[in-house]
C-alpha cells in the first residue's frame, strides 16, 4: 500500500532574544510563527475501523502538536538559560509571565530541532515525522527533514 504524507499547520506567537548575537535580534522581540507538521504513513485499510482511510486523524495530530508545542510556546518568551537576560527572565516569571528557559540559542533552527524531538516522541509507532517547517517571518523559515538526520 502507498505511503501518504499529510500536513497540518499551526500558528503561535512567541518572543525570544538571541544572546551574543551581533544584530537587532539580541533584543527581546517576537514573531508570529507558522509551523507546518508533515507526517508519513500508510492509510488504514479496514472498513470496520473508525479511522479507515486515514494515515492519522488530523485531530489526533493537532492534539499532539498543540500539547507539545503550541500550548507551551504561544505567548511565551524563550531564552537561552545561559543568557545574561536571566535576571529579566526571573523578574518576568515572578510577575507570572510565561518564560521558557532552554539549553540552546532560541533560533528557528534550534527550535525546530527541539520541536521535532517532542513530536516524534508522541507519534504512534506506525506514523513517522517526515518534515517540519517553522516560518518566523513572511520571508524566512527553517526546515527539518527526517531524511537529513543522522
35: phi then psi, degrees, rounded to nearest 5 = -120, 115
Residues in the chain: 150
Nearest to 78 by CA among 54, 45, 111: 111
Cell readout for 72 is 507551551
120: phi then psi, degrees, rounded to nearest 5 = -55, -40
Known catalytic residue: 75?
Answer: yes
Known catalytic residue: 67?
Answer: no
Contact 79, 100 (CB under 8 A): yes
Active-site choice (13, 29, 67, 75):
75
Active-site choice (16, 68, 85, 136):
136
Active-site choice (13, 25, 29, 67):
25
Known catalytic residue: 90?
Answer: no
Catalytic residues: 25, 75, 136
Amino acid at each position: 500500500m502507498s505511503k501518504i504524507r499529510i500536513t497540518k499547520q499551526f500558528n503561535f506567537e512567541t518572543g525570544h532574544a538571541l544572546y551574543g548575537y551581533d544584530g537587532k535580534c539580541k533584543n527581546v522581540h517576537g514573531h508570529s510563527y507558522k509551523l507546518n507538521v508533515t507526517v508519513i504513513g500508510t492509510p488504514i485499510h479496514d472498513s470496520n475501523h473508525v479511522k479507515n482511510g486515514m494515515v492519522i486523524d488530523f485531530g489526533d495530530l493537532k492534539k499532539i502538536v498543540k500539547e507539545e508545542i503550541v500550548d507551551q510556546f504561544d505567548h511565551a518568551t524563550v531564552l537561552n538559560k545561559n543568557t545574561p537576560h536571566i535576571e529579566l527572565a526571573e523578574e518576568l516569571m515572578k510577575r507570572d509571565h510565561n518564560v521558557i528557559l532552554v539549553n540552546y540559542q532560541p533560533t528557528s533552527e534550534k527550535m525546530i530541532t527541539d520541536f521535532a524531538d517532542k513530536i516524534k516522541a508522541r507519534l504512534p509507532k506506525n506514523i513517522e515525522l517526515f518534515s517540519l517547517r517553522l516560518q518566523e517571518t513572511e520571508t524566512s523559515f527553517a526546515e527539518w527533514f527526517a531524511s537529513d538526520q543522522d
